[in-house]
Amino acid sequence: MASGLVAVLGLFLLVDAAARGSWDVVWSAVGPVVAVVWVLWLLTVRPVVRLDDDALTVVNPLRTTRIPWAAVADVRLRWQIVVQTAEGNTVTCRGGPSIRGSRPGRRGELSVPHEPEELRTIRRRWHSRRASSPADIAVRREWDRPAVVAGAAAAVLLVVSVVALAT
């Protein structure tokens, strides 16, 4: 929500400056506005955890990891969902749920941290699909192309803004 508000506000200010004919302001501000919106998008909107019949796909900022169910050794919750692979690697799911505060118990009772429903869903899918998933498929890590391309475009606009400020 907040990242959308920042994007709308930045766009509004750029359009306002363009409508007033202040192109020096537009060219000097477009880079920082786009860079801030890109960082907010990268950290708050882009990360996601996807489940399908064959694998668990983790989209983190700048990296995407596809883990076949047969390659998952453990799924646990630290601050975020963490997947341990059979190869011994650890993948932190930045787009998954995090530890929520525990509800206070009655007087004298211990409070138990709440386990997110999303974690239980991942574990159920893993337990049901690991036997039928092909064991020879490896974990695939790659750069998240849309995020990297958008970041490169933001960097170019940032350079344009610096040049516009210098002239």
- Find residue 86's DSSP bridge partners: none
Q: Across residues 11-40, what is the average pLDDT?
A: 91
pLDDT of residue 143: 96
Q: What is the pLDDT of residue 112?
A: 56
Q: What is the pTM of this model?
A: 0.75
48-101+113-143: CATH, from 3.30.70, 2.30.29, 1.10.287, 1.10.3470: 2.30.29
Residue 19 pLDDT > 70: yes
Structure-block tokens of residue 45 = 């909107």
For residue 12, pLDDT over 60 is answered with yes
Q: What is the chain's length?
A: 167
- The identity of residue 72, as a single letter, is V
What is residue 99's predicted lDDT score, i.e. its pLDDT? 60
- Long-range Cβ pairs for the range 129-136 (8 Å, 24+): 129/53, 129/54, 129/69, 130/69, 130/70, 130/72, 132/69, 133/54, 133/55, 133/68, 133/69, 133/70, 134/68, 134/70, 135/70
Q: Would you list the domain boundaries of the chain?
A: 2-45+146-166, 48-101+113-143
Task: Reply yes or no on whether the pLDDT at 153 is more than 90.
Answer: yes
How many of the other CB atoms lie within 10 Å of CB of 86?
Answer: 15
